[in-house]
Amino acid sequence: MADKKPKFTFRPSEGKKFATLEDKDNKDLLTKWSMQGNIAAQMYTFDQPFQPYQKDEFGLDFMRDPNVLSTLLMSSGKGNLTPLGTAAESVTIETVPCSVLSMTFFDRLYGPVVRDSGYLIKCFDEFYEDFTISDELRKMLLSEESDNYDLYSDTEKEEFLYCLFKHICLGGQICQFEDILEPYLNMTKLLYKDLVSVQKNAETKELNIVSSVFKIKAMDKDEDVIYPASTSHEQTFSYLIVDPIKRHVIVLYHKFGGGIF
């Protein structure tokens, strides 16, 4: 590991809770979806100014900071979360667009994949990797064979709000899926509000998202992934949501697995 003084230093925000993940009813849903015990949100503060072009340096400093290594939680694979502990040799940082401000983004689901009553339209069971597809929503999210696969453009599918919605809909390894759309939308909305910072323009009075979102992976000296997990899966992820004004970064983490019951 190169002996380089970090530009960014971090401190955990002690006592910071994320209401969506702490709510009892939401915990029950996350347990049903096989995510509880494998999902975590944590906040860290930093004192240095941040610009998105500094994402690689920011991410590497984050994954080497002693305060992060001793507190950043990841799944042990046994239904509990333990600190990472190991510093990264390198990181890959992927910018995730984050510009959607309204849940009307999902209105187009009604008709093609969701009935007006809110119930998901069922389909014959299909299997895609680790997932069972039994409704048009999951078929749209996973299968290029779906008639609705292009309901959202490739650019829209990259949006953080869409990614969050997809993660919640797909859940963990032993997910008990919903028959109606509302629980997925509610969880997505609440979690998005917990994570993303919004500011009102003083002149136009319009709301603007000020957070920058990045997907991060950390590697050791052998270039093996050590975070978010040694095994790759689209439902194993870690996002850094950076507020450059308040100078805090939120980590949203999940590892695909059985969760707890």
DSSP string computed for 109-154: GBTTTB-TTSBBPEEEEEEETTEEEEEHHHHHHH-TTSTTGGGS-H
Band (pLDDT 50/70/90 cuts) for residue 1 is very low
What are the residues facing 248 on neighbouring strands?
45, 243
What per-residue confidence (pLDDT) applies to 257?
80
Structure token pair of residue 15: 């006592």
How far apart, in whole angstroms, are the C-alpha atoms of residue 123 and residue 75?
33
Q: Which of 40, 48, 53 is nearest to 227 (CA)?
A: 40
At 177, give phi and psi (nearest 5°).
Answer: -75, 155
Reported pTM: 0.94
pLDDT of residue 80: 76
pLDDT tens string 174-203: 899 999 999 999 999 999 999 999 998 888
| pLDDT at position 4 | 72
Please tell me the distance from the alpha carbon of residue 169 to that of residue 88, in angstroms, as a whole number.
31
Pair of tokens at residue 155: 């650019």
Least confident of 47-56, 79-88, 98-107, 245-254: 79-88
Residue 228 has pLDDT above 80, yes or no: yes
Lowest mean pLDDT among 70-79, 227-236, 243-252: 70-79
Can you give the pLDDT at residue 231?
84
Average pLDDT over residues 104-127: 95
| Confidence (pLDDT) at 3 | 58
The percent of residues in the chain predicted with pLDDT above 90, rounded, is: 81
The CA distance from 68 to 85, in Å, is: 8
Which is nearest to 239 in space by CA: 43, 23, 6? 43
Residues 133-150 have pLDDT tens digits of: 999 999 999 999 999 999
Mean pLDDT of the chain: 93
Average pLDDT, stretch 198-209?
A: 88
Q: According to the model, what pLDDT value does residue 258 have? A: 67
Q: Using an 8 Å Cβ cutoff, are 172 and 34 in contact?
A: yes
In the block, residue with structure tokens 């069922």:
122
Q: Report which of 16, 18, 17 is spatially closest to residue 194, judged by C-alpha positions.
A: 18
For the chain, the maximum distance between any two Cα atoms, rounded to a whole number of angstroms, is 60
101: amino acid identity, one letter: L
Question: Residue ranges of the domains in the chain?
Answer: 10-97+208-254, 103-195
* Partners of 92 in the β-ladder: 217
